[in-house]
């Protein structure tokens, strides 16, 4: 019994080098197991923190609330430290402050840009806007007088607002050039229905015509009445004007501007009484059967050159004798046959009659 008790004591408390080495090994294994457990807990905490940050990035609204942090931590199975929660709250507050400051800066920048744009617009308007003057008052008076004259003498055919009726076309957008041509040549007011309006003495004075033209010009704009001075006619290129006239006008108005018949009872009128303004107005507006020659076809310089050529061709005396109406070679040849050859035949007959006696 005593020996067996001694053996048991020896087994419970071993002594010697071998027993001491075994005890050290066992304690080392315990330390290693605890280190592995701590490493596992650290890894799990890091993964949970990454999942929490991902959730905050995907849903900003939920990430901004402390309750969401606690819920996420509880679902992940770990409890965040109070200091870490406070750090995240402080970080979110800083980000919210930065966003608010950025929004305020954007609003201030937008306000500044809008203010500068308004100031620039006002400056441009003050520079480019037409300024009022006494001339504007004169123009307004002319327009009022022109409207009164229009309502009195033109509205019966063209309507109270110049929009046209079954008896007359609309005058909206025709411009003052067309009005001046039609009224200064006496074609309007129309004397009576016909294939073409004839030229006659005007029914209105030039001042009244200008007033009506000013009123019509306000109704949609249009081609304005040209201004031709004596200097423009004196400085015009007659050679260039003659080329343009022979290329575009001679076919209807004849080489010397005496006019010629057209189809369906219409005709190209003679240019013997036309003024330079009326010639250019006819080119720009195309009355009756005449085509419109815009500035893309004949510019202002060319139009003045054509008018100067017509006036020169009309007023220059003929070096060969009487012009015979400037109707061209056919009437002159016919007159030569009738008078020249007929006269020679008469002389021959007179000589033969004397010889018989």
pTM: 0.57
pLDDT score recorded for residue 54: 43
The 10s digit of each residue's pLDDT in 156-190 is: 999 999 999 998 999 999 999 999 999 999 999 98
Is the predicted pLDDT of residue 192 greater than 90, yes or no? no
- Which DSSP letter does residue 198 get? P
- Give residues with Cβ within 8 angstroms of 325, minimum separation 6: 258, 331
Q: How far is CA 146 from CA 92, 171, 217, in A?
A: 76, 14, 10
226-319: CATH topology: Cytochrome Bc1 Complex; Chain D, domain 2 (1.10.760)
Residue 302 exposed, middle or buried by CB count within 10 Å (0-12, 13-18, 19+): buried
Is the predicted pLDDT of residue 134 greater than 70, yes or no? no
Spatial CA neighbour of 244 closest among 190, 178, 305:
305
Query: Which of 28-42, 79-93, 187-201, 277-291 comes out lowest in average pLDDT?
Result: 28-42
The 10s digit of each residue's pLDDT in 15-59 is: 454 445 444 444 444 444 344 444 444 554 544 444 444 444 444
pLDDT score recorded for residue 200: 93
Pick the residue with more confidence: 326 or 225?
225
The 10s digit of each residue's pLDDT in 269-282 is: 999 899 999 999 99
134-225: CATH topology: Cytochrome Bc1 Complex; Chain D, domain 2 (1.10.760)
Is the predicted pLDDT of residue 9 greater than 60, yes or no? no
Measured from the Cβ of residue 249, the count of other Cβ atoms closer than 10 Å reads 22
Paired strand residues for 260: 268
Determine the average pLDDT of the residues in 200-214.
95
Q: By percentage, how much of the chain surpasses pLDDT 70?
A: 69
Q: How far is CA 269 from CA 197, 241, 246, 260, 319, in A?
A: 10, 19, 16, 7, 26
- Which DSSP letter does residue 267 get? E
pLDDT score recorded for residue 15: 47
pLDDT score recorded for residue 153: 92
Q: What are phi and psi of 269, to 5 degrees?
A: -70, 160
Determine the average pLDDT of the residues in 302-329.
83
């Amino acid at each position: 019994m005593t020996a067996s008790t001694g053996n048991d004591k020896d087994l419970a408390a071993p002594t010697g080098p071998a027993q001491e080495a075994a005890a050290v090994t066992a304690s080392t294994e315990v330390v290693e197991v605890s280190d592995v457990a701590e490493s596992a807990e650290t890894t799990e905490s890091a993964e949970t923190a990454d999942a929490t940050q991902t959730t905050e990035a995907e849903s900003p609204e939920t990430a901004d609330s402390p309750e969401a942090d606690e819920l996420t931590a509880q679902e992940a199975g770990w409890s965040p430290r109070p200091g870490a929660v406070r750090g995240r709250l402080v970080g979110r507050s800083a980000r919210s402050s930065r966003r608010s400051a950025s929004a305020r800066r954007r609003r201030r920048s937008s306000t500044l840009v809008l203010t500068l744009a308004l100031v620039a617009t006002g400056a441009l308007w003050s520079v480019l806007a037409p300024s009022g003057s006494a001339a504007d008052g004169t123009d307004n008076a002319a327009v009022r007088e022109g409207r009164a004259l229009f309502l009195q003498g033109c509205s019966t055919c063209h309507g109270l607002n110049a929009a046209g009726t079954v008896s007359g076309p609309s005058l909206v957008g025709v411009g003052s050039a067309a009005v001046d041509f039609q009224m200064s040549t006496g074609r309007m007011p129309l004397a009576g229905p016909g294939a073409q309006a004839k030229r006659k003495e005007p029914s209105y004075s030039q001042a009244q015509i200008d007033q009506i033209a000013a009123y019509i010009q306000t109704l949609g704009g249009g081609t304005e009445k040209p201004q031709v001075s004596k200097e423009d006619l004196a400085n015009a290129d007659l050679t260039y004007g003659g080329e343009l006239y022979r290329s575009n006008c001679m076919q209807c108005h004849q080489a010397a501007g005496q006019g010629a018949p057209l189809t369906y009872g219409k005709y190209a009128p003679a240019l013997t009484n036309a003024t330079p303004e009326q010639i250019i107005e006819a080119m720009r507006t195309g009355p009756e059967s005449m085509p419109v020659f815009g500035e893309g076809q004949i510019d202002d310089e060319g139009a003045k050159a054509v008018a100067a050529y017509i006036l020169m061709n009309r007023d220059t005396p003929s070096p060969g004798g009487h012009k015979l109406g400037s109707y061209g070679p056919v009437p002159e040849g016919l007159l030569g046959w009738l008078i020249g050859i007929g006269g020679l035949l008469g002389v021959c007959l007179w000589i033969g009659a004397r010889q018989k006696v």
